[in-house]
Structure 1
Amino acid sequence: MNTENTVSAHKEPPKMPGAWPLLGHMLEFGKNPFAYMTKLRNSLGEIGEFRMFHQKMVLLTGPEANEAFFRAPDAQLDQSQAYKIMTPIFGKGVVFDAPPHKKDQQLKMLMPVLRDKPMRGYAQVIVQEVEQMIADWGETGEIDLLEFMKELTIYTSSHCLLGDEFRYELNEEFAKIYHDLEKGVNPLAFVFPYLPLPVFRRRDKARARLQALVTGIIAKRAQKAEKSEDAFQMLIDAQYDDGSRLTPHEITGMLIGTIFAGHHTTAGTAAWTLLELARRPEYMHAVLAELDAQFGVDGEVTFQALREIPLLENVIKEVLRLHPPLIFLIRKVMQDFHFKDYTVKAGKYVCASPRVSHRIAEVFPEPEKFDPDRYSDTRQEDAKPFSWIAFGGGKHKCSGNAFAMLQLKAIFSILLRRYTFELIDAADNYQDDFTQMVVQPVSPCRVRYLKRVAIEESAGESLRNDSQETAHAGPGFRIIIDRELCQGHATCMAEAPELFKVDAAGNLTVLQENPPLDLLAKARQAEKYCPSKAIKIDLN
């Protein structure tokens, strides 16, 4: 745990040997960041220092180190200073480039679109997009799976979060703009974000064009009597604490941030989910049995139904364990940071690597094995806090994690019931591409699809629903809230309005200190579905 005990925290982290003048460890790190960080952990343990050009980096791995990293206050470990790479894309004064009090207000403006109530309408939108994408597939064919998922997830994310103009009126132009912005997330931008390179010039041109489009849509919407309910409109209507409104420049940056969160990492995860299932027929058959039992031939894909397919959810979690899309998460040390008996001096950077932490055998036995049963009720290998960190952790945990999981489950609830998939190339040819800032399968990523002839007879009610909880006998229970983790999604209020209330600002109030046992089942549901895992139910 992070501590201010300077008596015990006095040693500097051990350093990796082999740094080159000027370059540091950048050459070896750049070839394969995961292999390098794994080597660092194996050599130095849960904390170790390396150098990227002139920047001194300290890698923290394992549940205890992750917890110290994610729970540290912003005044000590600053997220904004570490992500200046995004400033040319989001814009100056937006999110990571904004002062802390302003950044917090901007992020809160986006929370309503990720709350429980609007989330319940997204499933139908995603289903509609999937059905349109595969409408002309026919009986069989071949696709580049990664390119297909990139296209599909940009449609689903823009439709759900941005509104009809971006999905239908600006479809092709927005896709081109987004592509140029995405390419601007280049490793060089960590150190030299404004070099006069073609990729950065296209990034800046795309940003300016998008702001012009946003300004035009704002003007058109102002003429309409009926208001939309998407993130775009929420940002148009939002106000800072002083009553001022967001500028088109700020709205543009926050819309970009919304889509990056909803699409940038999901396409690769969707592709890997299908690839892992395609090379493991036993899990593919089990997932198909679960989907057929839940939805039948034409069952409606609803928000609630998507909660009741635990095997598919566990498959996605295992994909995210083995193939987390982010190489590492970074913070700049603003005040000396202490972990156990080590001190990281202000001015350095600390980072956490989901991929390295997810492959620690003491936490996840046989870590290289694809095993979705790790997350079953009997094993719960991810139960230790900060062991599974695919979406980050602490108060900066990805606020879109619930939307990402909903999106993935909705996509596969249609895709897998309509078609079966097989790999075209040898299974070992499908590998992670570490040359990109967001890790995805190497392209091309070819698969063959075949239309399912009939739904297989399988799996009964035991696969249909694991969400029903039975109240334990006993004298009572209490609700424990980790305020550092709570993000104000309001899922708990939807599950148990008798127990929880979340106000417009995202502040959570527990309504009953000693709830009666007949509310235990609802409390358990709130605990289970809290996206940030901020609720714990303790039986007295």
Structure 2
Amino acid sequence: MNNQDALTPPKLSGSLPLLGHILDFGKNPHDFMMRLRARLGDVAEFKMFHQNMVLLTGAEASEAFYRAPDDVLDQGPAYKIMTPIFGKGVVFDAPIERKNQQLQMLMPALRDKPMRTYSDTIVAEVEGLIQNWGESGQLDLLEFTKLLTIYTSSHCLLGSEFRHELNEQFAEIYHDLEHGIQPVAYVFPYLPLPVFKRRDRARARLQELVAAIMEKRAHSREQSTNVFQALIDARYDDGSKLSAHEITGMLIAAVFAGHHTSSGTTAWVLIELLRHPEHLQAVQQELEGLFGDGNPVTFESLRQMPRLENVIREVLRLHPPLIILMRKVVKDFRVKNFVIKAGQFVCAAPSVTHRSAELFPNPEQFDPDRYAPERGEDRNLYGWQAFGGGRHKCSGNAFALFQIKAIISVLLMRYRFELSAPAESYRDDYKKMVVEPGSPCLIRYQRNNRASTASSDNASPGLHHQAAGGCPHAAAGFQVEIDMDLCKGHGACTGEAPEIFHVDEEGRVTLLDAQADHALLEKARQAEKYCPTQAIRITQTG
């Protein structure tokens, strides 16, 4: 079918003059998009003010969205709201090639080797915040997880200066930047509103602090592996270094990504476990098997938590923090048998696709076992899309899962919790741009003094992921495939099987020749299992 034969997407009726469907959308975006899909299908057009928007849901339409190259679907025009915060010429405001270079510069601090150093930092932050809780009490869970994730994210990703020397200043700056994300900024980002003036002063002040720390680090012999240092050391393809303005914006972007999504998800993990005691008990048994004898929380132990990881995946399915992802159509874009014209905007909606019964049977049910190997309901990479997908899948997804698992592990080993309000009263707040539990979000806690109840038969099934093919490398006995559209260069594969995989300093992955004995096959399967973007597939050939 050529473009002349293709269909235009079905349009939602009831658009208001000047406003379009914004009033209905604004009441509850998730409900609006669920109704839109139910009425018009996986490809459906609606209107936001003067702009035509096309919602893409379901695995096939989502794959088209996530796999489209940047010269077809462009992120930049959809996220101009972030330009005053990140800065002009930074990330979404940069030309496509420069933006992609900037994002790649964040990867060294998110690769496998530095990730192995973060567990002690995260555990220490959790222990430090709960040391004054006492025997029992009540707290606002969301406020606690917000504070905790900003501490852990800033400490791990930015460095000790931000966490300790500039802790109070950075918290105030971050607060003003965060509150600068207002819906009106989509259309008028520079109105002379007090909240925008505070936003702009905060960014200017942060750039001053960044420049001062850059000067200090230039004369220090201390080796750092965090995002800040990675950006200081980074070079564009033309050999030029990043300016303090660019580094400031990218640091803000890194912390926003690590804080906003993780704080709400961490809160929801504990809420859903308290709503479902059978899954709470299973997770507690798993943790007691790992830590019941006083063993420390380590990088390796955090990778041996299939039950907790499945709970987190199910929380992210039902409560994805980003419920709509947008791109501008630069060239006519084909989805299924529809053509979307250049100039329109397209949207993926994780919260809607995650509730597709054809992808997730009984989609409203909280069921972490749906990710067990025998069911594998996350095998479709464009069905489960809490971290996006394709070339723009969130690079920090491995850090986010690692951070949440560490936080929940310490909390559940130290305290028992219960909900302070009826279970059904804890709901997503869809009025926020990053969705999280509504406030107040109260829970009660009591110090956990019980003995370990770990049993020898509490092992949980491991995770098994599959990825689409590309770049095959055959060896006697098995074949390795890497989907280069998904690979982000995290380097977990090299950590597991250096005989098979190599990741260079630029994050490019190559496959090495190797003998396919049994030990090597097991290493290859570990690389497949721990790849953060599920870009590796191992198949036996004989």
Assess if the C-alpha contact under 8 Å between 1:309 and 1:463 holds in 2: no
Aligned to 1:195: 191
The 10-residue stretch of structure 1 (242-251 or 344-353) with the greater mean CA deviation from structure 2? 242-251
Question: Which of 53, 57, 69 matches 1:57?
Answer: 53
The 10-residue stretch of structure 1 (209-218 or 453-462) with the greater mean CA deviation from structure 2? 453-462
Assess if the C-alpha contact under 8 Å between 1:13 and 1:58 holds in 2: yes
Paired letter, 1:438: V
1:58-73 superposed matches below 5 A: 58-73=54-69
Could you tell me how far 1:240 is from its partner in structure 2?
A: 1.5
Paired letter, 1:388: W
> Partners in 1 of 2:33 and 2:282 — Cα distance?
35
Question: Which of 133, 136, 142 matches 1:137?
Answer: 133
Assess if the C-alpha contact under 8 Å between 1:308 and 1:465 holds in 2: no
Assess if the C-alpha contact under 8 Å between 1:142 and 1:448 holds in 2: yes
Residue-by-residue CA offset, 1:177-199 (whole Å, 9 max, x unaligned): 11111122222222221122222
Aligned to 2:522: 521
Could you tell me how far 1:517 is from its partner in structure 2?
A: 4.2
Could you tell me how far 1:7 is from its partner in structure 2?
A: 4.7
Aligned to 1:102: 98
1:243-254 superposed matches below 5 A: 243-254=239-250
Could you tell me how far 1:484 is from its partner in structure 2?
A: 0.6
C-alpha spacing 1:534/1:514, structure 2 compared with 1 (3 Å): farther
Paired letter, 2:360: F
Question: Which of 186, 189, 210 matches 1:214?
Answer: 210
Could you tell me how far 1:86 is from its partner in structure 2?
A: 1.0
> Partners in 1 of 2:84 and 2:252 — Cα distance?
11
1:503-514 superposed matches below 5 A: 503-512=504-513
SS of residue matched to 2:502: strand
Aligned to 1:479: 480
SS of residue matched to 1:30: helix
> Partners in 2 of 1:239 and 1:253 — Cα distance?
16
1:63-212 superposed matches below 5 A: 63-212=59-208
Could you tell me how far 1:411 is from its partner in structure 2?
A: 0.6
> Partners in 1 of 2:235 and 2:454 — Cα distance?
53
Assess if the C-alpha contact under 8 Å between 1:268 and 1:439 holds in 2: yes
Residue-by-residue CA offset, 1:183-229 (whole Å, 9 max, x unaligned): 22222222221122222222111111111111111122223233433
Structure 1 unaligned blocks of 5 or more: none
Paired letter, 1:300: P
The 10-residue stretch of structure 1 (399-408 or 73-82) with the greater mean CA deviation from structure 2? 73-82
Assess if the C-alpha contact under 8 Å between 1:9 and 1:338 holds in 2: no
> Partners in 2 of 1:382 and 1:212 — Cα distance?
44
1:107-506 superposed matches below 5 A: 107-463=103-459, 466=462, 476-506=477-507
The 10-residue stretch of structure 1 (196-205 or 495-504) with the greater mean CA deviation from structure 2? 196-205
> Partners in 2 of 1:16 and 1:156 — Cα distance?
44
Could you tell me how far 1:514 is from its partner in structure 2?
A: 7.3
- CA RMSD in angstroms comes to 1.7
> Partners in 2 of 1:526 and 1:382 — Cα distance?
18
TM-score between the two structures when normalised by the length of structure 1: 0.96
Could you tell me how far 1:238 is from its partner in structure 2?
A: 1.6
Assess if the C-alpha contact under 8 Å between 1:477 and 1:514 holds in 2: no
> Partners in 1 of 2:161 and 2:245 — Cα distance?
18
SS of residue matched to 2:137: strand
C-alpha spacing 1:24/1:215, structure 2 compared with 1 (3 Å): same
Residue-by-residue CA offset, 1:327-381 (whole Å, 9 max, x unaligned): 2010100000001210100000001010000001111111111000000011111
Could you tell me how far 1:487 is from its partner in structure 2?
A: 0.7
Could you tell me how far 1:38 is from its partner in structure 2?
A: 0.2
Alignment coverage as a number of residue pairs:
532
Assess if the C-alpha contact under 8 Å between 2:373 and 2:461 holds in 1: no
> Partners in 2 of 1:114 and 1:466 — Cα distance?
23
Paired letter, 1:380: G
Residue-by-residue CA offset, 1:406-437 (whole Å, 9 max, x unaligned): 00001111110100110111112111111110
Assess if the C-alpha contact under 8 Å between 2:3 and 2:339 holds in 1: no
Could you tell me how far 1:297 is from its partner in structure 2?
A: 4.3
TM-score between the two structures when normalised by the length of structure 2: 0.95
SS of residue matched to 1:192: coil
Structure 2 unaligned blocks of 5 or more: 466-474
